[in-house]
Structure 1
Amino acid sequence: MPTPRPAILSSIRSLISAFTSKASTPAILAHFTSSPTPLVHEHGSPLFQPFLPFIGRDFIGLKAVGEYFDLLAQHLAISDATFDDEDDWVVDPQILTVCLRGRARFTSLETKESWLETFLWRVTLSEDLTGESEPDAGQGLKVQEYRVWADTGAAFLASRGELKDLESANPSNVRRSVAGAHEVDEVLGGEDYPIKDKLGAGLSFGGSSG
């Protein structure tokens, strides 16, 4: 029997709340399973690791997941985070996985350079097994797998203090993208390539998002 959709969404909302409220690492870890073993992976080239050690590697286990969020907090400040409406999330209740998109301003703590960014989360949930009697379906859901796709290029340049050089070389593009950042991501496609359907529009409640 699939886990009730409201239970899945509630767990994701709790994770978002921790993210947007700049919760401490211990507070964030409370949203992850201890058993089964959790995993965090922010996708990107391992070549970035000397500057961005949280990118391009697996963080496996609760202690390692805490290390990921500690490293993230040591290198980047995150502000003005927002997420798409729940109607736009892709939810697969069979594998307890949700894909959703967020936006935020990121700032390199070393160079103070900042940028606006759109990122994608793929979050897989699981019942947190603690050896106690199993709760009702969905009542013990926590994050088992957390994957992020973000603008690693901007993060890398900002960590080296070189993002401003790129912006200086393309000032008109930067002004245009910053001024319309909230609009650009809302409209996928255009006159030359009109959008056909919203992501996930063809999925049924019991379908799979992959």
Structure 2
Amino acid sequence: MSSRADLLSAAQSFCSAFAAGSSLDTVVAFFSTQTPPLVIEYGLPAFAPFLGRPFNDTNGVVEYFTSLTNLVQIDGMTFSDYVVDAEVRKVSVKGTGRFTWRETGQAWDETFTYTLDFDDALKVTKYQVWADSGALYLARTGKLNALVN
């Protein structure tokens, strides 16, 4: 069984690497090769191509992060309030950052949450994201600034 400290360290390492804009290969290396990983960012699939559908296995992880980073610029991402459940090898964390839809240049500040499940090698098996898909959609369609300015 993984200790609380081990799980916390694994989650912090993943979050720090992603927040630092690490390479796709670096981010993907945090995901399990023992168990096919699953990535899902909840939201209406019509809002963005990376929302509301499961991305399965390593190819899915690559597809999710490629789509996300090609469409959205992320700045100033920070993480706090880690909650660790060592019994089920799961960590939830609150994040904040500034997100910009690249095509329109419209940006919003956001608070979001991740839940990360880990295998016995401390690699991510399931990555779930809950974020502000409404702001994302409005930024994508160029309507966000009219509502917040």
- Please say whether Structure 1 and Structure 2 have the same fold, judged by a TM-score greater than 0.5: yes
Distance 1:67 1:164 in 2: 29
Match in the other structure for 1:57: 53
Match in the other structure for 1:77: 73
2:123 to 135, 142, 145: 142
Distance 1:167 1:97 in 2: 36
3-state DSSP of counterpart to 2:105: coil
Distance 2:13 2:84 in 1: 16
Match in the other structure for 1:37: 36
Distance 1:143 1:165 in 2: 39
Distance 1:32 1:89 in 2: 19
Distance 1:113 1:47 in 2: 18
Match in the other structure for 1:102: 95
Please, which runs of 5 or more residues in structure 2 have no aligned partner?
none
Larger proportion of strand:
2
Matched, 1:26 2:7: no
3-state DSSP of counterpart to 2:67: helix
3-state DSSP of counterpart to 1:89: strand
Match in the other structure for 1:114: 107
Counterparts of 1:179-190 in structure 2 under 5 Å? none
Max radius of gyration: which structure? 1
RMSD: 1.0
Amino acid at match of 2:22: A
Runs of 4+ in 1 over 3 A off after TM superposition: none
